[in-house]
């Protein structure tokens, strides 16, 4: 992980032991607002590695915002503990809580800028509250605006800025006090796709240049795919799964992760195709194999290889290759015409190539003269 120097200490590199620590550790966190409604967070334990961008994804109501508010002390959990850079946040109040909060900055979906202040004035605000001198503020604000590529707009008011520019101001303001962790709560949800990409690129570059840990709350798997090193999937207040982004995308364990991934990775067949498959083999069916290609394996001519080696006729039902965390990931569903008896040797061969495979159903052989169901 890139652990470049931080904004305020460009000359002092951090010791290795420090860079290896978890930036955030959550231990058995639970939160109940209304006992009649049950827990909103239920025994959540999670570590975010220092310098990582860690996505937290879940459907509306899964508890994402509550979790992120427990991280910066805005919500007091019912039980459990939160540590930021090894320091407990839970149970703090007054000055120690304010000091701890300086280490955790936040950016929001709707930017939360003061309309009466210019871009520079908004960025200066946390510095004023923290009691920095006018001279220090005058020196620091342009550097922060430079960091987000917005120096030319220093004197513009929020009403004169685009959504992407407002979020850049929000990011500069969040970074003003040199936080250790940046919490992003749906920061790109109100932006168009092109601006979303620019803001995600900016977060990625800040993460790399400053070694800043980013916790990214989102309901869009594409945001996770673009920049997160690790991802946690929340469902109904519990962790459905958590791990490195690539592994989670390649081998999702939970139904909720698979459903979030359906627009990105072809793990599941489209419903109209899936319903044409049988769950049991019959005299008139051929097996359907889902092959997952990862890394170098994504570029192997596997279909041609199966034809040549086993004499089967793989018929591609559905598939897609994508790039996740700079690595290729492909998923292909193929009907192995005439492959029933060769299934195990074929799977053993695929495994020897480092490819994983799974039988996902059985396709009914087409009646003579009629093509098989669909190609996608």
Ligand X SMILES: Nc1ncnc2c1ncn2[C@@H]1O[C@H](COP(=O)(O)OP(=O)(O)OP(=O)(O)O)[C@@H](O)[C@H]1O
The answer to whether 33 contacts ligand X (rule: CB under 6 A) is yes
Alpha-carbon distance 119 to 173, whole Å?
Answer: 9
Q: Contacting ligand X (CB under 6 A), which of 39, 55, 63, 252?
A: 63
| Stretch binding ligand X (CB under 6 A), from 62-70, 97-105, 206-214, 253-261 | 62-70
Q: Contacting ligand X (CB under 6 A), which of 47, 66, 85, 242?
A: 66
The answer to whether 64 contacts ligand X (rule: CB under 6 A) is yes
| Stretch binding ligand X (CB under 6 A), from 63-71, 142-150, 159-167, 317-325 | 63-71
The answer to whether 65 contacts ligand X (rule: CB under 6 A) is yes
DSSP-assigned letter for residue 318: E
Pairing of strands 213-218, 53-58: parallel
How far CA 125 is from CA of 29, 132, 134, 140, in Å, comes to 32, 10, 11, 12
The answer to whether 36 contacts ligand X (rule: CB under 6 A) is no
* Cβ proximity of 188 and 216 under 8 Å: no
**Residue 198 or 254 having the CB closest to ligand X:** 254
**Residue 219 or 349 having the CB closest to ligand X:** 219
| Residue partners of 54: CB distance under 8 A and separation at least 6 | 24, 48, 213, 214, 215, 216, 228, 229, 230, 231, 232
Please count the other Cβ atoms lying within 10 Å of the Cβ belonging to residue 262.
15
DSSP 107-131: EETT----TTS-HHHHHHHHHHHTT
| Stretch binding ligand X (CB under 6 A), from 61-69, 137-145, 273-281, 326-334 | 61-69
**Residue 63 or 158 having the CB closest to ligand X:** 63
**Residue 19 or 109 having the CB closest to ligand X:** 109
Token duo for residue 53 = 């961008």
Quick note: the x/- pattern for ligand X over 211-240, rule CB under 6 A, is: --------x---------------------
Q: Contacting ligand X (CB under 6 A), which of 55, 58, 314, 339?
A: 58
151 phi and psi angles, rounded to 5 deg: -60, -35
How far CA 362 is from CA of 337, 345, 374, in Å, comes to 10, 18, 14
**Residue 33 or 375 having the CB closest to ligand X:** 33
Which residues make up the interface to ligand X (CB under 6 A)?
33-34, 40, 58, 60-66, 219
């Amino acid at each position: 992980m890139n652990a470049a120097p931080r904004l305020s200490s460009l000359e002092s590199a951090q010791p290795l032991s420090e860079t290896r620590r978890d930036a955030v550790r959550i231990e058995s966190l639970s939160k109940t607002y209304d006992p009649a409604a049950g827990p909103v967070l239920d025994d959540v334990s999670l570590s975010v590695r220092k310098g990582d961008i860690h996505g937290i994804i879940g459907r509306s109501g899964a508890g994402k915002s509550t979790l992120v508010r427990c991280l910066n002390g805005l919500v007091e959990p019912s039980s459990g503990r939160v540590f930021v850079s090894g320091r407990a946040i839970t149970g703090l109040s007054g000055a120690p809580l304010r000091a701890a909060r300086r280490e955790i900055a936040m950016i929001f979906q709707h930017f939360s800028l003061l309309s009466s202040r210019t871009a520079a004035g908004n960025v200066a605000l946390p510095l004023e509250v923290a009691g920095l001198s006018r001279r220090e503020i005058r020196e620091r604000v342009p550097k922060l605006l430079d960091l987000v590529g917005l120096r030319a707009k220093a004197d513009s008011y929020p009403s004169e800025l685009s959504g992407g520019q407002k979020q850049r101001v929000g990011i500069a303001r969040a970074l003003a006090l040199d936080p250790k962790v940046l919490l992003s709560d749906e920061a790109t949800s109100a932006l168009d796709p092109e601006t979303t990409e620019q803001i995600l690129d900016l977060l990625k570059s800040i993460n790399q240049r400053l070694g800043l840990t980013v916790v990214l709350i989102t309901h869009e798997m594409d945001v996770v795919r673009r920049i997160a090193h690790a991802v946690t999937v929340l469902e109904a207040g519990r962790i459905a799964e958590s791990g490195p982004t690539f592994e989670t995308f390649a081998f999702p364990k939970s139904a909720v992760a698979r459903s979030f991934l359906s627009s990105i990775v072809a793990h599941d067949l489209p419903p109209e195709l899936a319903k044409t498959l049988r769950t049991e083999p019959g005299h008139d069916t051929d097996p359907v194999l889902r092959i997952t290609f990862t890394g170098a394996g994504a570029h192997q001519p596997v279909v041609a290889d199966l034809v040549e080696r086993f004499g089967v006729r793989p018929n591609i039902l559905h598939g897609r290759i994508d790039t996740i965390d700079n690595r290729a990931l492909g998923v292909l569903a193929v009907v192995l015409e005439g492959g029933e008896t060769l299934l195990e040797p074929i799977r053993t061969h695929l495994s020897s190539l480092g490819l994983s495979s799974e039988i996902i159903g059985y396709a009914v052989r087409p009646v003579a003269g009629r093509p098989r169901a669909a190609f996608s």
